[in-house]
Structure 1
Amino acid sequence: MASEEIFIGRQPILDRGNSLFAYELLFRSGTKQNFANVHDDLAATANVINHAFAELGIEQALGPYKGFINCDENLLLSDILEVLPTDKIVLEVLETVEVTPQIVERCQELKARGFTIALDDFVNFEDKFKPLLDIIEIVKVDLLPLDRDALALTTQALKRWPALRLLAEKVDSREQAQYCHDLGYDLFQGYYFAKPAIIAGKKLGHSQLSLVRLLGLVLEDAETRELEGVFKHEPGLAMNLMRLTNSVATGVRTKVTSLRHAITVLGRRQLQRWLQLLLYTNPQGGDVASPLLQLAATRGRLMELLAAKLHPGRRDFEDHAFMTGIMSLMPSLMSVPLEEILRGINVAGDVRDALEKGEGELGILLKLSHALEIGDGQACHDLAGQLAEVDHMTVNACLTQALTWASNIGKENA
């Protein structure tokens, strides 16, 4: 493992209700150019998969979500797959795999064992795919080379297999996602939901303004009754705070029953964190852990954990790292520019520099988090190289911890 520098990236896959369904796990080399993938080297792949599942605990990090893994012919036919949890993993047959009787038989065998099988990067229907389409469960249609008419034709051809779930990959915008939704697609892969759709002249909503005000009060160490006063006018936010503070992720053992109790049990430092996450919840109720909240929480927690490696014992730096990660996605959440959001909160100078200019150590951590999300191995290598005490092993371990923590948000304590 030490000889091969591999970063673990991931891409979210959403369902028709815009809830998180799975992550595609990306194993990216930091030492080869052009997003080089390690799947051409079976030994390296075996090392990475074994390390990710046996040592890092990726299975726990996935929480309730599935993990998609790319399989070339060598990996598909190898016994490395034996170590993977069949109920959690979707095996993606790459487009480079030739559909031979041996491959079809192997896919049938893996399916019988409990794996879900998907066909990756599907573009145009050809007869050679028929034997696979009879047994697989998911087809990932690559949107990049297809215009709307070609996409409609490909989709129509696949409808001959009514049991197939269609997944649109490389979804670049909400409009594209909606078009695929209308065509009958079940799953959607990409960070389209996290792209800011800035609406000119849009002002923050009432609940958002209240939260920004609350965050400001906590940062200024205001009295508990002042905080309670703001919450009293926002019952939806108060309810969501209860749900968040009673989730596994807080580590709080006692059932939190009131606002004052939440503030007392959590303490100011933790309260600040949960108020930041509360911005990503819907005050009208519904699922607390939206995909955007999951992304923000993972980003914030990853940056916080890496900050602790950079400057052990500096709690203020860890808090600033967490806040930078969370706030970096607020333009996507609120559809207003970052400057507008920062106007309402007195954030520390290093947080502001990282968010506005990408500067300082926090700026590097933010760029590294983003590079991991999109699976840019070369950028991960370059950015980690600018941080003392941080290598690919540290980054992967911290990412796994961050994913585990984020997947526990909204999951109630037993």
Structure 2
Amino acid sequence: MNSYLARQPVLNRDKDTIGYELLFRDGPRNSFPEIGDEQATHRLLTDNFLSSGNNDVTSGKKAFINFPHSSLLNRIPLLFPKKSFIIEILETCKPDDELLDAVSELHRAGYTLALDDFTPTPEWNRFIPYVHIIKFDLRATPLAKASFFIRRHKEKGSRLIFLAEKVETHDEFTAAYEAGFDLFQGYFFSRPEIVRKKALKPSALTTLRLYREISCSEVDFSKVEQIIATDVTLSYKLLHHVNNMTYTRAKPISSFKQALVYLGEEKLRRFVTFVATSHAVENKPESLYFLSLQRARFCEQLSQQLQSRLDSNQAFLTGLFSLLDSILEQPIEALIDQLPLDKPVQHALISRKGHLGGLLRLAIAYDQADWKAIKRLCRALTIEESVVAETYLDSLKWATVFEQTLPSKP
């Protein structure tokens, strides 16, 4: 049996990623794979926490795990260290005496607990003293009702943390922020926050110029060197990064040309992807950069698994540029005009067409744990669902390892 999961980032009020909810299924009726809630949770825990003691797929951040009623009554979380994850009490749990006993015991043991998709009702009131986080689904609970609940508890000096789920647009993030939410979950950062055309900042222009160069089939290292040399911070990051990778050398690398030649085309593309992008727009959530990198690797690796093998570099660029409109705050159509991308990549990015578009739709569906869409796309691309799952997990781990080798943001 394979382990299938996706993850959704959880951000704080500064848009910093503090953790990820790990998603094994798409609601009670699973379509990918077809197993029950209890088995899904147990499989996720076994594959990601039991053997290693830490979870690679959360990049070292907090994990939010859904627990059904029976798992809580059986005290399954007690099998794991209390810092392993945050326990989410599913909304399908019955708020009976047995559940209250289990929740209070977990609370006393030092575990962090959250009420998932919370709806204020009298029968849940007695659970609130034992939980730390309350999650409101903005699609199910009116924001005004959630805001009233939050305000009432904060006025009483409550230390509860409130999390807004399914925040899909920047306007929704702003409204939830003003309503008093502390944490946010959703994909509002995965689309442009500003859709009107505006002038790019100098740092963003530098990034776009670098993107243009790495989009070519053969990278012109001299041109890349000239671009990087005009930016002091970027220059420092490049040399710092390469010397970290080559610390065993007797003589450090001191020139941009040496650094670029050492990296080579593939590693240079990765460097530009993460460091230059984060340098260009520093007020964006860190998850955005990681997701770009992970999607690029996912599309690249999966392109070689298809019956009609695709150009792996084109697949990498498709995943890499899938969030470019959000990163540079420009419509994707305007940005595509400034990049020498092949037609299949353009069609994939603008209209999600072609085999590359199918790969990108598959990556997005997996990000959102849309198992029905995944099943449909796997049939269309004639690829096994198990292969997609393994590739997704491998891309998460690869992106995590790569991210750890890079210098931090300034």
Task: Tell me the TM-score normalised to structure 1 length.
Answer: 0.84
The one-character-per-residue Cα deviations of 1:53-106 (angstroms, maximum 9, x if unpaired) are 458998122122112121221122235545555323111111222222321221
Confirm or deny: 8 A CA contact 1:256 1:262 kept in the other structure. yes
Q: How many residues align?
A: 403
Q: Which moved more, 1:189-198 or 1:44-53?
A: 44-53
For 2:254 and 2:125, how far apart are their aligned partners in 1?
A: 57
Any residues of structure 2 matched to 1:9-408 within 5 Å, and which?
9-28=6-25, 40-53=36-49, 59-78=55-74, 80-81=76-77, 84=80, 86-124=82-120, 126-159=121-154, 160=156, 162-218=158-214, 219=216, 221=218, 223-242=220-239, 258-283=255-280, 290-310=286-306, 317-388=311-382, 390-408=383-401
Which amino acid in the other structure matches residue 391 of structure 1?
Answer: E
The one-character-per-residue Cα deviations of 1:137-157 (angstroms, maximum 9, x if unpaired) are 111122223334322212123
Which amino acid in the other structure matches residue 101 of structure 1?
Answer: D
1:303–1:145 Cα change, 3 Å? same
Q: Which moved more, 1:226-235 or 1:321-330?
A: 226-235
Question: How far apart are 1:284 and its partner, in Å?
Answer: 7.7
> Alignment identity in percent?
28
For 2:144 and 2:57, how far apart are their aligned partners in 1?
A: 39
1:171–1:76 Cα change, 3 Å? same
Which amino acid in the other structure matches residue 403 of structure 1?
Answer: L
Question: How far apart are 1:191 and its partner, in Å?
Answer: 0.5
In structure 2, runs of 5+ residues without a counterpart are none
Q: Which moved more, 1:258-267 or 1:303-312?
A: 303-312
* Aligned-residue RMSD, C-alpha: 3.4
1:169–1:217 Cα change, 3 Å? closer
The one-character-per-residue Cα deviations of 1:95-143 (angstroms, maximum 9, x if unpaired) are 222222321221233334443210011133x332233211111111222
For 1:94 and 1:280, how far apart are their aligned partners in 2?
A: 37
For 2:376 and 2:51, how far apart are their aligned partners in 1?
A: 25
1:145–1:52 Cα change, 3 Å? same
For 1:148 and 1:401, how far apart are their aligned partners in 2?
A: 38
For 2:91 and 2:206, how far apart are their aligned partners in 1?
A: 50
Confirm or deny: 8 A CA contact 1:368 1:380 kept in the other structure. yes
- Higher-RCO chain (CA-CA 8 Å, sequence separation at least 6): 1
1:113–1:301 Cα change, 3 Å? farther
The one-character-per-residue Cα deviations of 1:223-272 (angstroms, maximum 9, x if unpaired) are 5333222112222333444566578xx89977866533331221022212
Confirm or deny: 8 A CA contact 2:273 2:293 kept in the other structure. no
The one-character-per-residue Cα deviations of 1:180-205 (angstroms, maximum 9, x if unpaired) are 32333221000011122343332333
For 2:246 and 2:380, how far apart are their aligned partners in 1?
A: 33
Which amino acid in the other structure matches residue 395 of structure 2?
Answer: A
For 1:175 and 1:393, how far apart are their aligned partners in 2?
A: 37
For 1:63 and 1:201, how far apart are their aligned partners in 2?
A: 34
Q: Which moved more, 1:379-388 or 1:19-28?
A: 379-388
1:68–1:37 Cα change, 3 Å? farther
In structure 1, runs of 5+ residues without a counterpart are none
Which amino acid in the other structure matches residue 331 of structure 1?
Answer: D
For 1:46 and 1:151, how far apart are their aligned partners in 2?
A: 32
Which amino acid in the other structure matches residue 78 of structure 1?
Answer: N
1:332–1:413 Cα change, 3 Å? closer
For 1:127 and 1:349, how far apart are their aligned partners in 2?
A: 58
Which amino acid in the other structure matches residue 142 of structure 2?
Answer: D
